[in-house]
Amino acid sequence: MATPLVQPLTRAIQIGETVYHVTMHPDRVAIRQKGRRSSIEVSWTELLAFEQRMQAPVAPSAPSDGKPKAASRSILNEVAQQLRAATEFLSMADDTLTQAGALPAALMAQAAADPRHGQVDQEHHWFVEPLLTLTEVASILRVTPRTVQRLGLRTIRIGGEDRYQQSVIREYLRQQEVPASR
């Protein structure tokens, strides 16, 4: 399952001795040399259209005055070269991201789409939700800390202290729900 690209994602790649920053946006990709401000930006539709043009045979065009248009041809060659480089950079960035993995493969396999927003469900990723202390959980549940300990909820030990995931607390409360009596 692919993760939707909803925010810009920047990665560094090295080609030879030169380091480049590749930023993938939902609507375009930008490539710039590290330490430089100017970048090459190509929209995804332009990139796909270019790929289709590269696969199609090129028909020679006859200039209106009979003379070749050297300047425009050189510009087109430069743009084509930059687009080929951008395609190569994207391929390398994709390989790097696949190897590095934005999330461990086990978590990616568990990730499910959020039915309301179509984004990855953040509930399963404890590293983005605040962790609660024993006292905070006791306050939320309106019980004593000792009672919370007796519940046997899953915890994460940090610095010698137990922390509770909010999703674990929510799941516990869902399990404790009693149907309304009439």
The burial of 127, by beta-carbon neighbours within 10 Å (0-12 exposed, 13-18 middle, 19 or more buried), is given as: exposed
Mapped onto helix, strand or coil, the DSSP state of residue 118 is: coil
Which positions ≥6 away from 107 have C-beta within 8 Å?
124, 125
pTM, to two decimals: 0.32
User: Residue 151 — left, alpha, or beta (φ > 0 → left; ψ -120 to 50 → alpha)?
Assistant: alpha
Please answer whether residues 144 and 30 qualify as being in contact, where contact means their C-beta atoms are separated by less than 8 angstroms. Answer: no
Q: What's residue 62's pLDDT? A: 54
Mapped onto helix, strand or coil, the DSSP state of residue 105 is: helix
User: How are beta strands 28-33 and 161-165 bridged, if at all?
Assistant: unpaired
The Cα-based distances of 37 to 17, 22, 49, 108, 120 in angstroms read 19, 13, 27, 34, 33
| pLDDT tens-place values along the chain, 182 residues long | 677 777 888 888 888 888 888 888 888 888 888 888 888 888 888 877 877 777 766 555 555 555 554 556 667 777 778 888 887 877 776 666 566 555 445 444 544 444 444 444 444 554 567 789 999 999 989 999 999 999 999 998 988 888 998 888 988 888 888 887 76
